[in-house]
Structures are given as C-alpha cells and as structure tokens.
Structure 1
Amino acid sequence: MTSSPDALTATRGRALFWASGICAAALVLVPLWMLTGNPAVLRGHPLLPALLVTAAVVGLLWGILLWRRRSTSRKRSVLRLVGAWAGRVAVLALVAMLVWLNPFSYRPAGAAEAAAGVSVVDEPTAIVMAPEGGRASKGLVFYPGARVEARAYLDILKPAADAGVLVVILKTPLNLSLLDGNQARGTMSAHPEISTWTVGGHSLGGVSASSFALANQDVDGLLLYASYPLDSMRDRGGLNVLSISGSEDGLSTPEKIDASRELLPVDATFVEVQGGNHAFFGNYGPQPGDGEPSVGRDVAQQQISEATVAFLTQREGR
C-alpha cells in the first residue's frame, strides 16, 4: 500500500517544520547561553556579542514566523525541498561554529593582585597597562591565542608594565587574531610617545605578530609565546626576537619550535621552560590537546615573565 501524494507532502512538511523549529531554537538558545554563561564574551571584542545578538534575533523572528504558519502545508518541488534541508544544515553548522567560538575565559591562578603602580584601562578592543606616571618609551602590543580572552594575559604581562613598558593586550575579532592581523597598527598610532615597539603573541597570536613584524619595519622586537612564524623572517633586519616555549607543550611542540629556528633571524633567542605546557602562557585553564605539565603554573609563569621583562627592558631601540 502506497501513501497518497497529499499524505507524503504533509509528512515532509511536518519534518521540515520540526527541523526548522530546532534550528530557530538553537539560534536563540546558544547565543543566550554564551552571553549569560561566559563573562569573556561581553568582555572581549564587540564583534562576537554583536554576532550572537544578531543570531538570537534571527532565530526569534524565525520561530515566530514558524508558529504563525504552523498549520500551513505547502507543496515543494524536489529541488526546493533539497534546498530547504540544505539551508537547515547550514544553520546548524553556523550554530556549531558559534559554540566553537565560545572563548576560554580568564581564570586567576590565585588571589587577584592589585595592579600597584600600573594603570589598567579596559577599552573596547584592547586592555592597556600603563606604568606609573605614564612616561613609557617602550611598548608591547600582544595578540592573544585563538579563542583566549585578552584578560587571561594580564597577570603574566603585568611585570613588564611594572618595569616601565606600556603593555597593550589586543581584543581580537571573534578572538581570532588572523581576522585582523594589522590590528597592532592602531595601537602604535595611538601612542606616538613610544619609540621602541615590540609585537608579541601566544600561539596563533604569535603567528599574527610575526606577520606584522615582517611587514612593518618600525617594529623593533618580536616576542613569541609557544609560537612560530609561517613565513621566513631570516632576512628581516633590525629585529630582536625572543621565543619562549614549554617542554611539555602538546600544541606548539618542542619539535615545531626547534624547526622555527630556520625561519627566524640567526640571532633569535630561545628559552624553553622545563615542565611548562601551552596553557601556562596565560591564565585560562587547561586546553584540549595540550601536554601534561611537570612543574607548577606559578613556577613556569615566573620564568616566562622574567624572560619577557629582560627582553623588553635590556635592549635599545633604533
């Protein structure tokens, strides 16, 4: 016994209706979950909250439209039906992308310390740590790692600000520095009092910092946290480079760091933190795929901060 064309159309319509309802609900619930459940979303670059609000509004309007048309059954050609299902799959892929973009939020390693002698200003697209008196002549622009909140690097970079360096931690679009690799230029333009600029970054942020340093001759230094460049910088003259890595890093492995020596200037300095892993270069908790550390976070971060301060303060600009 075969189904009538009208019954088949009704069955397909109900299936598409429920699929649409699931998609509309996901577009509303996932953004609400991220906006209310993760403080890093609202503390970061405004692009992600704007994207989430837009998705939620679209999902809400779609849900209202579905409810008003709940009793309507429309005949669709095979081509239109395939297109409708493909659209629902695309929406679910978008929702999955939003979930993936949920950033690693700042997790203080211990009791939060007051930034004595340092001014901390939280701007829409950056966090600025200025030394006491605001008379710095050296500056660091830092790109966070992929999907890591900018605030996660405050503790490890604060000693540099204490030592007299202007530190600017960028809030990158969607927490992906590659979406605006030239973002450091705005910071440099906003602080003409700085005569010696270093760009740096953690993981993917270090890739962006490397590309920026390669293309901009007014950058004097490159600071890499568990990172390496994609292109050769061997012929980039006048650039001081410090690469700090962890011996137990499961993402930017020691083998990858060692291979990066061929891409960096011959006088680049390499420091390996024994027992440190990828997530020790910021305070945002464990990271999937990372190695197991064999040393305390505080011990590793003290070494990272000390090497950073020495690099930023002991060299002279052009």
Structure 2
Amino acid sequence: MDTSSSPAAVAPPRRRTVIFWVSVVCAAALSGVAVWMLAGNPAVLAGHPLLPGILLAAGAAGVAWAVLLWLRRDVPRPRSLPRIVGAWLGRLAVLVFAAGLAWLNPFAYQPGATAEAGPTSDFSVTETNAAVTMSPEGSATAKGLVFYPGARVDARAYQDILAPVVGAGYRVVILKEPLGLSLLDGNQARGAIGDNPDITTWAVGGHSLGGVSASSFALHNADIKGLVLYASYPVESLRGRTGLSILSVSGSSDGLSTPAKIDASRQLLPADTEFAAVRGGVHAFFGDYGNQPGDGEPGVSRQAAQQQIAAATVAFLGRL
C-alpha cells in the first residue's frame, strides 16, 4: 500500500508553508550576512583569507538553497518525526552559524589624527594575506616586533600606534589572524620570524586577546627576548621564563582589561616587569578602530594616549 500521500506521512499544507518560509529565512541569513560583511566592511577582504573564504561559501550555499526551495516549493515530501526534528535542528544550526559569522565582523581600521598628520619618519609598508610589515627606510635594523591584534580587530588598525617604533629603527610585523582570533593560530609569529631572517633580536606583543597569544608564544620560545602587552595579561605564569623582558601598558579607564585585572596579573609576571599606565586611557585607544562595546569612558584624548603608549614601547625595545 502506498502511504506517501497519506495524512500521517505528508506534512499538512500549513506546516509545509511554515517550513518553507523558515527555510527561506535561513537561506537569506546565509547569503545576507555574506553580502553585508564582504561589501560593507573593507577589513574583511583586507584580512586573513579564511573569513572571506567562509563567507563566500556561505553566500553560495544560501543562494543554492533558495533556488532549490523555489524549484521544489510545491512538492509534498513524506516526513517522519525524527526527520522533522532533525530538519528543525538543522535550520536552527544554520541560524546560529549565520549569527556567529555576523559576530566575527571585524572592527575596521579608522585612521585617526596621527595618520592624518602623516608619518614622522620614512618607512615602507608591505601587506600580504598573513601580515602587515613595516620597515624603516634607509637603515638596517637588527630588532623586530611581531604583534598580535586584539580579537576581531583589523591588523591595519595598529599601523599608526606602532609607526614610532618603526621610526626608531625597528621592523614591525602585524599579524592578520584567522577569523580575527589569535587563539586559532597562537604560533603564527613563528612564520613571521621565518620570513624575516635578517632580524636577530625579536620581541612579540599583542593587544587584549592578542597579548594572551603573544605571552604564550614568548613563554614557549626561548629566542624571544621581549614581550609587549597592550591592555592584556597572560593566562600562564611567566615567572620561570628567564631571559625575557616584559612591558605591560594599560589604561586607567579601561572597561575590559580593567586596572584590577592588570594588577592581578602581576603574580603571573616576573618581578622586573615594567608597568606603564595611561591615565584616562581606554581599551580602544591601543589601536585605531573606533569605540568598543563594554569599554570605559576616556579621560584623555586618543592622540595623547597613543603618544604615551608608543613612547613607552620605543623606550622598552631600546633596552632589549
């Protein structure tokens, strides 16, 4: 007996309509988030290629799903309870995935007063899929800094604040992290070091979550001589790590890496760690990417704060 058209085997018309439109929403979410991020945020295509690759695949899947839904819109399909439950869970997973992609939308570089004033010294900038490299012009350098950006922050947002470091004669490599999350490739600095064999003395640094990865890399790589933490702190103790100089720069009004958190991190850092606090500085002042949700209220201008941050960094690297 053929049961494919019986009421128990085929979803009722109203249910099929609901399923159809929920599926349309899922397909639109996939393609919509891809278009929104790829076309609306220049940091996506300028960053690590993993995110735009995933977005292109998601967008294509959304379009293909929408076309399939339209072609099969009037075709009744048998449904058992397990298949119905699985279909709804699958659609929920698609919506969660689309929301996750939207969350990964990076903070784009927003040039500030420092960039508008122009560079204070001559340097060259080389950009690849993996990093932004800044090198001083006209003079050889033996020291370098590999920098891990904060979570979901455009690598180019650190060009201006680190430009004085380049002006002081150091090469700076700002990493483009997979999906904007340094924890996905904590050893990414090793590739940057390998790409610059002429540099003999290396420091690593990072902002916020990037500082966590930089700390871990410095802990497990004895050739690293310096660690620069911008509004950040390690999750592992570095007290037993010999031959490593550390600078921690924070903001007194930071709402994310709060002064209390920075103070608590002292127990994980060597006793000779240098601490510098920018009075009135906030989390977003350690780069040029606009405001950040959850941050504090600044009590100093961005330009004045960044001058202090850069000066402390240049002085520290000069002592390595």
TM-score band by shorter chain is over 0.9
Which residue does 1:81 correspond to in 2? 84
**1:135 aligns to 2:130 (yes or no):** no
Secondary structure of the corresponding residue to residue 270 of structure 2: coil
- The CA deviation at 1:8 is 5.6
Identity of aligned residues (%): 61
The CA deviation string for residues 139-166 of structure 1, in whole angstroms up to 9 with x for no partner, is 0000000010000000000000000000
**1:260 aligns to 2:241 (yes or no):** no
- The CA deviation at 1:15 is 1.1
Secondary structure of the corresponding residue to residue 200 of structure 1: strand
CA contact (8 A) 1:9 1:75 kept: no
Number of aligned positions between the proteins: 312
Q: Which of 95, 99, 103 is the matching residue for 1:96?
A: 99
After TM superposition, list the pairs within 5 Å mapping 1:215-234 onto structure 2: 215-234=220-239
After TM superposition, list the pairs within 5 Å mapping 1:181-192 onto structure 2: 181-192=186-197
Q: Which of 61, 68, 75 is the matching residue for 1:58?
A: 61
Which residue does 1:251 correspond to in 2? 256
Q: Partner amino acid for 1:172?
A: E
Deviates more, 1:305-314 or 1:219-228: 305-314
After TM superposition, list the pairs within 5 Å mapping 1:93-132 onto structure 2: 93-110=96-113, 112-115=116-119, 116-132=121-137
- The CA deviation at 1:231 is 0.6
Q: Which runs of 5+ in 1 are unaligned?
A: none
Which residue does 1:193 correspond to in 2? 198
CA contact (8 A) 2:143 2:202 kept: yes
Residues 1:78 and 1:7: Cα distance change in structure 2 (over 3 Å) = closer
Looking at structure 2, the residues matched to 117 and 7 of structure 1 have their Cα atoms a distance apart, in angstroms, of: 72
Q: Which runs of 5+ in 2 are unaligned?
A: 1-6
- The CA deviation at 1:192 is 1.4
Which residue does 1:39 correspond to in 2? 42
The CA deviation string for residues 22-65 of structure 1, in whole angstroms up to 9 with x for no partner, is 10111111110110111110111011110100000111111111
Q: Which of 276, 280, 283 is the matching residue for 1:278?
A: 283
The CA RMSD over aligned residues, in Å, is 1.3
Q: Partner amino acid for 2:185?
A: D
Secondary structure of the corresponding residue to residue 228 of structure 1: coil
Secondary structure of the corresponding residue to residue 220 of structure 1: strand
**1:69 aligns to 2:72 (yes or no):** yes
Secondary structure of the corresponding residue to residue 112 of structure 1: helix
- The CA deviation at 1:10 is 2.1
Secondary structure of the corresponding residue to residue 173 of structure 2: strand
Q: Which of 207, 232, 240 is the matching residue for 1:235?
A: 240
- The CA deviation at 1:113 is 4.4
Q: TM-score, normalised by structure 1?
A: 0.96
- The CA deviation at 1:134 is 5.5
